[in-house]
Amino acid sequence: MGTVTAPWKQLLLNALDSNSALKHYSFFQLATIGSNGRPSNRTVVFRGFEENSNKMRINTDCRTHKIDDLKHCPFAEICWYFTDSWEQFRINGRIDVVDGLCLDPLKLQQREKAWFASSVKSRLQYLGPNPGLPSLGEQSSSESSLDPSAGPVDAFCLLVLDPDQVDYLNLKINERLTFSSRQNINGEKFWSSERINP
């Protein structure tokens, strides 16, 4: 079953390309809903698309609050604004949490691939103290305890966002498009788009 490239994906790839000179071009905001019903938002880094797919990858620490949020409610939305091209993407969908306890060998392979695609400096953060807990003073360096050839540590988690809806706004040309997905009887996703008022 082949994956059909979503019509919004080329718009996003073009925006990434035209804003790639900016240091922050790969950062976007990820909003989740906690078990208390309140929204929570944070900035994360886009780690690319899953191969031959419209699914988007994010690396995170499994000890963060966003994991609890996603276990409570797997739906999330990202908001990405490109300052050079004046384009905004709001991408809504379901997030798959792939941690070391995942039973799917293909997903574990994707997690390992994501781990090795990260810099050693980035990998070191997963050896630090629990994010969000009170700091107990200066932390010792964990560099010596990280084997660069070893696979992912327990705290490393891959998030995979499978988009369902995309709201695209281009402020330079005052254009707004919405893209919605549905599944056909074979379970394949297909997309429709609509031009709406900005």
- Which pLDDT tens digit goes with each residue over 134-184? 887 765 555 457 788 889 999 999 999 999 999 999 999 999 999 999 988
**Predicted local distance difference test score (pLDDT) of residue 32:** 98
The phi, psi pair for 188, rounded to 5°, reads -85, 140
**Predicted local distance difference test score (pLDDT) of residue 1:** 43
CA distance 100 to 109: 10
Identify whether the C-beta of residue 155 lies closer than 8 Å to the C-beta of residue 51: no
* Count of Cβ atoms closer than 10 Å to residue 1 Cβ: 6
Identify whether the C-beta of residue 43 lies closer than 8 Å to the C-beta of residue 29: yes
CA distance 83 to 109: 35
CA distance 38 to 35: 8
Mean pLDDT within 106-129: 94
CA distance 121 to 100: 20
Residue 20: which residues within 8 A CB-CB, separation 6 or more? none
| Domain ranges within the chain, ordered by starting residue | 7-128+146-196
Which pTM does this prediction carry?
A: 0.91
Which amino acid type is present at position 14? N
CA-nearest of 165, 152, 158 to 192 is 165
Mean pLDDT within 55-60: 98
* 3 state DSSP class of 9: helix
**Predicted local distance difference test score (pLDDT) of residue 141:** 52
Instruction: Using the predicted structure, report yes or no on whether residue 132 has a pLDDT greater than 90.
Output: no
Can you tell me which residue has the tokens 């990998």? 123
Instruction: Using the predicted structure, report yes or no on whether residue 118 has a pLDDT greater than 60.
Output: yes
**Any idea which architecture 7-128+146-196 has in CATH?**
Roll (2.30)
* 3 state DSSP class of 155: coil
Q: 31-58 as b/e, with b when 16 or more CB fall inside 10 Å?
A: bbbeeeeeeeeeebebbebbeeebbbbb
Identify the band that residue 25 occupies on the pLDDT scale cut at 50, 70 and 90: very high
**Predicted local distance difference test score (pLDDT) of residue 130:** 87
- Helix residue spans in 88-181 (DSSP H): 105-117, 120-124
The mean of the pLDDT values for the chain is 92
As a whole-number percent, the residues of the chain with pLDDT over 90 amount to 80
